[in-house]
Amino acid sequence: AQSVTQLDSHVSVSEGTPVLLRCNYSSSYSPSLFWYVQHPNKGLQLLLKYTSAATLVKGINGFEAEFKKSETSFHLTKPSAHMSDAAEYFCVVSALNAGGTSYGKLTFGQGTILTVHP
């Protein structure tokens, strides 16, 4: 079984200040983890993904995420928020079983709405 918990439903920051969106996961197997962003009336867009090659992952638009297995976390950060970052963000977990016969069920967190104030 797999699950994702996004710890904040809303995060509000001022432009130019750091952003932290928190995500904890649960998975029976080695997971793959993704962050997607959804702007109003737009489709879901991939921000970044954990590939197991490195625990610190860099994505588009200056976002980063760090995979911490001991804490089962994959928090999303950005050093300096921009007005265009205002959107809803989803943490997603995908797990394949050891035999590779499970075809990648994607489980979404509840989402975090990021508001950026001028």
Partner 1 sequence: EAGVAQSPRYKIIEKRQSVAFWCNPISGHATLYWYQQILGQGPKLLIQFQNNGVVDDSQLPKDRFSAERLKGVDSTLKIQPAKLEDSAVYLCASRQIRRRDTEAFFGQGTRLTVV
Binding site for partner 1 (CB under 8 A): 6, 30, 32, 34, 36, 42-46, 49-52, 90, 94-96, 103-111
The smaller minimum CB distance to partner 1, of residues 43 and 118, is found at 43
Distance of CA 14 to the CA centre of its chain: 20
The smaller minimum CB distance to partner 1, of residues 69 and 82, is found at 69
Backbone angles phi, psi at 97, to 5 degrees: -75, 170
Does residue 42 come out as left (phi exceeding 0), alpha (psi in the -120 to 50 range) or beta? beta
Q: Whole-number minimum distance, CB 45 to partner 1, in Å?
A: 8
